[in-house]
Amino acid sequence: MSYQLSHLRALEAEGIHIMREVAAEFERPVLLFSGGKDSIVMLELAIRAFAPAKIPFPVMHVDTGHNFPEVIEFRDSRLERAGARLIVASVQDSIDQGRVTEVTGPRASRNQLQTVTLLDAIEEHGFDAVFGGARRDEEKARAKERVFSFRDDFGQWDPKGQRPEVWSLYNGRHRKGEHIRVFPISNWTELDVWQYLHEEDVEIPPIYFAHERRVFERDGMLLSESPHIELLEGETVFTETVRYRTIGDMTCTGAVESGAATLQAIIEEVAATRITERGATRADDRVSEAAMEDRKKEGYF
C-alpha cells in the first residue's frame, strides 16, 4: 500500500481543512459565490467539509445586475439543492443609495463598483471571514497573497505587511471591524479546477460549454450582445460558436471561439492553450500591468 494521494485529492483535502478551520474559529463567515467555476469548486468543498450537516455559513453573491441570465438561474437552483442561504449584495442598490456613481458610455462596466458593494455588505452583516475563490495562478499579485489574508477596517490589503503563514497553522485573529479573506483554492490551477469538476461530475452553468451566441468583437475579445452594453461605431454583431473560460459581468467577460461541448473537451483545450484565462477573457485586467494589484489593495475580491 503506497498511501498516495492524487494531486486533486491533496488539493481538496487542503481546501476542506481551511474551511473547517474557519468554521471553527470565526463567528460570522460567508462564502462568496458568483456562479463561476472557482466558486462552484468552493461550494463543493464546503458541502463536503460539513456533510451530512448543512454548510454552517451563508453564501453571498455580489450582484452587478449585468449577469448572464443562465448563471443566475444556475446559482438559484444549485444553492437551493445545497440548502444554502443566499444573500444578494446588489451594486444597483449601491448606485440607488448614492454610494457609488454609475459609469456611463459604451465601455461602462460595473466591475470596479463591486468593491464598495462588497465592503458595505461585509460591514452590514458583520462578516469576519470571507471565502473567496481566487487562485494564485491567476495573476501576479494573487501569487503573493496568503490563504488567510488580513484586511483592516477599510478592507485594504497590505502586500508588504502580510502575516507569515507557516505549515497549516492559520492565524485568523483580528479585531472587531477587521476581517480575513480566506482563499481555500489558492493552490489550484485553472486545469486543476476543470479536472476536479470533471472527475467529480460537478454541475456547472451551460455557458461554459460551446454554444451559439450573438457576439461582437472589441479589443480582440468576443463580447456577448446584451442590453447592458452599447456598440461602438463599426462594431457589428454576428453569430459564433463560443464558450466562456471565466464568468464575470456580461460587459467585461469575453467568450472564446470553441467547439468544446464536454468537460473532457474543455480540459484538452485548456491543456493546449497558450493564453492565460484572464488575459484572454477579462477586460478588467487589461487596464494596466498592476490593475489587479491596485484593485486588491482597495478590497476587491
Partner 1 sequence: MELLRFATAGSVDDGKSTLIGRLLYDSKTIFQDQLEAVERTSVERGDEYTNLALLTDGLRAEREQGITIDVAYRYFATPRRKFIIADTPGHIQYTRNMVTGASTANVALVLVDARNGIVEQSRRHAFLASLLRIPHLVVCINKMDLVDWSEDRYEEIKAEFRQFATKLDINDLTFIPVSALLGDNVVDRSDNMKWYEGLPLLRFLEEVHIASDRNLIDSRFPVQYVIRPMSSSGMDYRGYAGTVSGGVFKPGDEVVVLPSGFTSTIAAIDGPNGPIDEAYPPMSVTIRLTDEIDISRGDMICRPKNQPIASQDVEAMVCWMSEVGSLQPRQKLAIKHTTRWARAMVNDVQYRLDVNTLHRDEEASALALNEIGRVSLRTTAPLFFDEYRRNRFTGSFILVDESTNNTVAAGMILGES
Residues of this chain that bind partner 1 (CB under 8 A)? 2-7, 9-14, 16-17, 20-21, 23-24, 45, 48-54, 136-137, 140-141, 143-144, 159-160, 162-169, 171, 173-175, 186-187, 189, 191-192, 200, 273-276, 279-280, 289-290, 293
For residues 233 and 241, what is the distance between their CA atoms, to the nearest angstrom? 24
For residues 83 and 199, what is the distance between their CA atoms, to the nearest angstrom? 23
Cβ distance to partner 1 smaller for residue 160 or 212 = 160
Cβ distance to partner 1 smaller for residue 81 or 214 = 81
Q: How far is the CB of 156 from partner 1 (least distance, A)?
A: 15
Cβ distance to partner 1 smaller for residue 96 or 200 = 200
Q: How far is the CB of 284 from partner 1 (least distance, A)?
A: 15
172 and 21 Cβ atoms separated by less than 8 Å: yes
48 and 73 Cβ atoms separated by less than 8 Å: no
| Phi and psi angles of residue 218, each rounded to the nearest 5 degrees, phi first | -145, 130
DSSP label at residue 132: -
Q: Which residues pair with 129 in a beta bridge?
A: 29, 180
Cβ distance to partner 1 smaller for residue 10 or 88 = 10
Q: How far is the CB of 45 from partner 1 (least distance, A)?
A: 8
Q: How far is the CB of 210 from partner 1 (least distance, A)?
A: 22
238-243 and 129-131: which strand pairing? unpaired
Cβ distance to partner 1 smaller for residue 28 or 211 = 28
For residues 226 and 153, what is the distance between their CA atoms, to the nearest angstrom? 37
111 and 248 Cβ atoms separated by less than 8 Å: yes
Q: How far is the CB of 26 from partner 1 (least distance, A)?
A: 12
